[in-house]
Amino acid sequence: MLTETVNYHAFDAIYEDNYTASKPGRAWDKYLVGYLKGVRPKPIWGYGGIDFHSENELRGKKRVNDIENVFYMESLSNDAFYRALVNGRFYVSRGYTPARLQMDYFSLTSAKGQNSETYGGGLRFKGPPQISFQVSTRNGTAEKVKAQLIRMGLVIHTFEGVTPLKIDFVDRNPIDHKRFYYRLDVKGKRGEHIATNPVFVQR
């Protein structure tokens, strides 16, 4: 449905059921690639939802904060929130324990380090991009995580380690596209999951 529908802004990338559209190379990536190739007029963003129907569900295991959308805002205001929402300046976090994963930062920097962008943003430059990020836990405990760096729907590198996992990676692989993007998909061992919105590059 994502690739057959038009004129929408975002979709449930992570939710409390089986989901496939946000996995590497699936519908979300196909849509983003189509956007960069001029087939789609704008990108779509991935958000998180819990599919909450009524208060009766709270009597079971469902909690309204199991999935969170974490926004990157320049100020604490309604206007800043709506700008972040519309422009994809956020990531999705799913967690069920106090050791919920959090993205301390995620940035893409130009080859000479002159410009930097994060979720939903874009840069124009030549040379190999540098991708920097750090994943930690909310309660500060050390947890094993696996982070997949996705470029144009393909996992180009997988980072594994213990939180806080700090990565500075220069993508020196051949890039055949004049316009491309990066996004991160991070998983822990207790169902914790982070999916970031993409950052775009134009040559």
**Domain spans in the chain, listed from the N-terminal domain onward:** 10-202
Decide if pLDDT at 78 tops 90. yes
Q: What is the pLDDT of residue 5?
A: 86
* DSSP label of 22: T
Decide if pLDDT at 76 tops 80. yes
Q: Compute the mean pLDDT over every residue in the chain, rounded to the nearest whole number.
A: 93
Global pTM value? 0.93
Decide if pLDDT at 7 tops 90. no
Average pLDDT estimate for 106-119: 91
In percent, the amount of the chain with pLDDT more than 70 equals: 99
Q: What is the pLDDT of residue 91?
A: 98
Q: Which residues contact 185 (CB under 8 A, 6 or more apart)?
A: 22, 23, 24, 147, 148, 150, 193, 194, 195, 196
CA atoms within 13 A on the CB side of 139: 9
CB 16 within 8 A of CB 50: yes
**Is CATH 2.70.50 the right assignment for the domain spanning 10-202?**
yes
